[in-house]
Amino acid sequence: MPSIQANFDNVLRFGGAAIIVIGIFLVLQPFISAMVFAGVLAIATWPLFERLKSSVGGNSTLAATVMLVMILVLVIIPITLLSVAPRTGFRSRSTPSRAGPRAACTRPRR
């Protein structure tokens, strides 16, 4: 039969471990979606990486560099541009402003 001291030590260990796990989760919580996206991207592009690695003679550094550039150009940059676009808007220079079409043609008053 375990003593009270041994039970108390176990409770402290598990409580400390629980506090650490909760703290780690709270710190990593804002990044969970990015980590899931990175995992999906890594799994989805692994066969392409293997083919690229065999085509460059087994040089994994070169294959990883090429894959990084391809993923940046084809995935990350377009997603970044699309996430910035709603804030800046898609207005072109030819569309009239909110003040009306003649607002750009009038001179400011002195």
Residue 91 has pLDDT above 60, yes or no: no
Distance, in Å, from the CA atom of 6 to the CA atom of 4, rounded to the nearest integer, reads 5
Residue 7 has pLDDT above 90, yes or no: no
pTM: 0.55
Distance, in Å, from the CA atom of 64 to the CA atom of 60, rounded to the nearest integer, reads 6
List the Cα angle 11/16/19 in 5-degree steps. Answer: 125
Helices (H), 1-110: 4-28, 32-55, 60-71, 77-88
pLDDT (tens digit per residue) in 10-38 = 999 999 999 999 999 999 999 999 999 99
Mean pLDDT of 92-105: 56
